[in-house]
């Protein structure tokens, strides 16, 4: 997997993660899901490790995780009756996404990034996104209850 502890600015690390995601996106569809899990798992583990910290301390880790999730853009069309690899990948990391919503509901920057990430995945998966729409709506409703003054759009 990609080691998110690469030295350099957060912007540089995000760029590296996006480039890796672009490369993975060129793989055949049946390989994308397993490779994305291998790539994103270390970043997800880092997010879990910072869940007890402040949003400011956790932000570099949550940002890289969100960048990774939305960096995969498969170039091969997905058959109408097949599961989209992005939906499959998101399913693998849904517990981490839920924990981010719970722990950082009042941290506008983290919430903006995670919501943008989820919107990007749903937008890319389009008609294949059905399995994640209801859980996503539930998270959003809970988030607005926890932080009614959310600023999730920049």
pLDDT digits (tens, 9 = 90+) for 76-121: 999 999 999 999 999 999 999 999 999 998 898 999 999 999 999 9
89 token code pair: 């990948």
- Is residue 2 within 8 Å of residue 18, measured between CB atoms? no
Q: Kindly state the DSSP code that residue 41 receives in the 8-state scheme.
A: H
Q: Is 52 left (phi over 0), alpha (psi -120 to 50) or beta?
A: alpha
Q: What is the pTM of this model?
A: 0.87
Rg (CA), the chain: 15
**Is residue 153 classed as helix, strand or coil in its secondary structure?**
coil
pLDDT digits (tens, 9 = 90+) for 112-143: 999 999 999 999 999 999 999 999 999 988 88
Q: How far is CA 67 from CA 59, 82, 97, in A?
A: 12, 25, 13
């Amino acid at each position: 997997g990609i080691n998110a502890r690469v030295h350099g600015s957060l912007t540089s690390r995000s760029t590296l993660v996006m480039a890796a995601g672009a490369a993975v996106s060129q793989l055949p569809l049946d390989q994308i899901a397993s490779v994305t899990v291998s790539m994103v798992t270390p970043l997800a583990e880092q997010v879990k490790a910072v869940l007890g910290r402040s949003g400011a301390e956790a932000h570099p880790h949550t940002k890289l995780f969100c960048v990774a999730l939305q960096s995969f853009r498969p170039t091969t069309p997905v058959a109408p009756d097949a599961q989209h690899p992005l939906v499959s990948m998101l399913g693998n990391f849904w517990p981490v996404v839920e924990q981010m919503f719970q722990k950082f509901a009042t941290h506008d920057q983290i919430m903006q990034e995670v919501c943008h990430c989820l919107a990007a995945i749903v937008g890319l998966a389009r008609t294949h996104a059905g399995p994640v729409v209801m859980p996503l709506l539930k998270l959003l409703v809970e988030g607005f209850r926890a932080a009614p003054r959310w600023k999730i759009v920049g």
